[in-house]
């Protein structure tokens, strides 16, 4: 029986020499790989009491929506700035080169709601840390953060130390 990591394509020297890029599209292109990835992420939520799943654009949508569907939970998109049509809250965070801003609708999380954040990959942790801060700003509680893959060598978990974080597959390098 195949494991999730068997479906992940590793591309050496991308985007620069010495980096091994872990490609999630190879999972999406295989029905069995996609099914297995979703099932394994759902297993990480076993026993977790929560109300809402939120996912970061765009691959957090790809994995978060089927998890929300399977568990009969609502899904909240965390979007890049300027993409949501109603009143929003926003958070700007640092990238390796520059910064980015993400937003959520002001009414997407109700005070007291327990939220699971979903994304495909944790690298430096900046995006999901900003998403967690938005959830908290809206009065929600982040009860779990779930990733398909983790690049442990980039220490993204350090930024998320106060949260319960789980990954299906962990790569020790960058």
Return the SS3 of 165: strand
Among the options 30, 40, 57, 59, which is catalytic? Answer: 59
* Whether residue 96 lies in the annotated active site: yes
Quickly count: other Cβ atoms within 10 Å of residue 57's Cβ.
17
What sign does the CA torsion over 108, 84, 148, 99 have? negative
The set of long-range contacts for 158-166, using a CB threshold of 8 Å and a minimum separation of 24, is 158/125, 159/124, 159/125, 159/126, 159/129, 160/122, 160/125, 160/128, 160/129, 160/132, 163/132, 165/122, 166/44
Active site residues: 59, 96
């Amino acid at each position: 029986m195949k494991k999730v990591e068997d479906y992940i394509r590793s591309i050496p020297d991308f985007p620069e020499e010495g980096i091994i890029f872990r490609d999630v599209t190879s999972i999406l292109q295989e029905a069995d790989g996609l099914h297995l990835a979703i099932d394994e992420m759902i297993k990480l939520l076993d026993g977790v009491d929560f109300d809402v799943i939120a996912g970061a654009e765009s691959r957090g949508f790809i994995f978060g929506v089927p998890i929300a569907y399977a568990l009969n939970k609502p899904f909240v998109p965390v979007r890049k700035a300027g993409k949501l049509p109603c009143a929003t809250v926003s958070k700007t965070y640092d990238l390796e080169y520059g910064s980015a801003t993400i937003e959520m609708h002001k009414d997407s999380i109700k005070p007291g709601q327990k939220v699971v954040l979903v994304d495909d990959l944790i690298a430096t942790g900046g995006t999901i840390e900003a998403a967690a801060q938005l959830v908290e700003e809206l009065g929600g509680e982040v009860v779990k953060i779930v990733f398909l893959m983790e690049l442990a060598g980039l220490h993204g978990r350090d930024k998320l130390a106060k949260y319960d974080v789980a990954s299906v597959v962990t790569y020790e390098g960058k």
